[in-house]
Structure 1
Amino acid sequence: MKILIVEDEPQMLDNMRQSLVREHYTVEAVSSFKDANDKIGLYEYDCILLDIGLPDGNGLELLQNLKKQGKEDGVIIVSAKDSLDDRLTGLDLGADDYLPKPFHMAELHARVKAVVRRRNFEGNKLVEAGNVTIDPESRNVLIEGEEVILNRKEYDILMYLITNKTRLVTKAALAEHVWGDHIDQADSFDFIYSQIKNLRKKLEKATIQVEAVYGVGYKLEIDS
């Protein structure tokens, strides 16, 4: 899952980033309104952790911009501003949750997981596709009850394809979501092929397949 942190306090930003990276999220971070606005205009995230009080703008305006663009990114407002008006305004503008500072990182993790489950997996703790069952909490992958060991990138690719199982996923979108926003500066996406090849081998007994669409990207096919 891919997270964007928008936070102008350096120590807080670093603590949040390190904590979420340890939980195996792909994490991008910015500290200004301008940089955040650029990010949400160019990329997609499973969850955005949004501070309201930025030095060059109001985080609530970023939330408005996100919704105007028709984006479905989950948003948790993380701010020292804990007035009822700020909270209600943020929720009215489409935020999923509001977490006032200070907070424990364990609570932040729980809030992020809840938003991702609600938005991507209809609130379910287990994700099922064909005869494959995934526990995002433990990152365990089972095929008909038998555990399959995936490396981090293989797992992230599989989860992104399952999250977008009705869509054709471009190579660029897949690379960006799994490896981070700066991947758009890469000369090619050849490094994806080996991960996809290994993932296909490990899914041989599964009733789902990763299908390549020549020149475009990949799509998850689920046998009925």
Structure 2
Amino acid sequence: MKVLIVEDEKELSENVNAYLTNGGFICEVASTFWEASDKISSFSYDVVLLDIMLPDGDGLNLLRILKQENSNTGVLILSAKNALDDRVTGLELGADDYLTKPFHLPELQARLKAIFRRRMMDGRNDVVFNEVRLDPDTMEAWVGDEQLPLTVKEFELLLFFITNKKRVLTKQSIAEHLWGDNVDFLDSFDFVYQHIKNLRKKMTSAQGNDYIKTIYGMGYKFTD
């Protein structure tokens, strides 16, 4: 799951980032309204963790921009205990849930996963495509009854493909999803091809179908 953390409190932001990253999330961080606005306009996220009290702008306006850019992105609002009106307005604007500060990190993670299940998995606990099944909580994948020996990046890649099935995904969009902000330090996107090659090999070795189609000059599509 790819998450954008929009939070101006540095210590809180770092703690949330570290906790979610250790839990297998792919995280990016923005500490200002304009930084978050730029990221939302440039990249796609599964869920945005949104502090509505930002130093240079109203987080609710950021929510409006987000819903115009990508209405399928989930939003979890962070708010102060006395910000009831803002929470109500946020939910009316399309936020999925809210959490008041201070909060426990395990609860935050559980709520993010719940939003992801509702948005991307139709409320299910697993992701199924024909003979392929994924469990995002345990990061395990199967073809039929055989478990696939996937790396973390290969699992994230397969999950990204299935939740975006029948859509053409460019090498750049795949790289950005798998590496987040760190993609800027990469010399090329050749590693995307290698991850796809390894994923194909492991799926077909388990007697699964090769659903990853190369769309020459454009990217890849996961389809039967």
TM-score (norm 2): 0.95
The DSSP-based 3-state class of the residue aligned with 2:18 is helix
Is 1:210 paired with 2:212? yes
Is 1:221 paired with 2:223? yes
Q: Would you say how many aligned residue pairs link Structure 1 and Structure 2?
A: 222
Counting aligned pairs with the same residue, the percent is 49
The DSSP-based 3-state class of the residue aligned with 2:211 is strand
- 1:201 and 1:69 map into 2 onto residues whose CA distance is 36
The DSSP-based 3-state class of the residue aligned with 1:94 is coil
* Residue 67 (structure 1) shift: 1.8
Q: Which amino acid aligns with 1:69?
A: E
The DSSP-based 3-state class of the residue aligned with 1:49 is strand
Q: Over residues 152-210 of structure 1, what are the superposed CA-to-partner deviations in whole Å (9 max), with x where a residue is unaligned?
A: 11111100000100211111111111111452564431111111111010010113521
Moved over 6 A (4+): none
- 2:123 and 2:178 map into 1 onto residues whose CA distance is 22
C-alpha root-mean-square deviation of aligned residues, in Å?
1.4
Is 1:80 paired with 2:68? no
* Residue 116 (structure 1) shift: 0.5
- 1:184 and 1:221 map into 2 onto residues whose CA distance is 29
* 1:1-224 map, 5 Å: 1-183=1-183, 186-204=186-204, 205-222=207-224
Contact 1:203–1:209 under 8 Å retained in 2: no
Q: Which amino acid aligns with 1:152?
A: V
Q: Over residues 123-154 of structure 1, what are the superposed CA-to-partner deviations in whole Å (9 max), with x where a residue is unaligned?
A: 10011111111111111111111111100111
The DSSP-based 3-state class of the residue aligned with 1:159 is helix
Q: Which amino acid aligns with 2:111?
A: R
* Residue 68 (structure 1) shift: 2.6
Unaligned runs of 5+ in 1: none
- 1:67 and 1:156 map into 2 onto residues whose CA distance is 24
The DSSP-based 3-state class of the residue aligned with 2:223 is strand
Closer, same or farther: CA 158–93 of 1 in aligned 2, 3 Å:
same
- 2:182 and 2:144 map into 1 onto residues whose CA distance is 37
Closer, same or farther: CA 220–70 of 1 in aligned 2, 3 Å:
closer
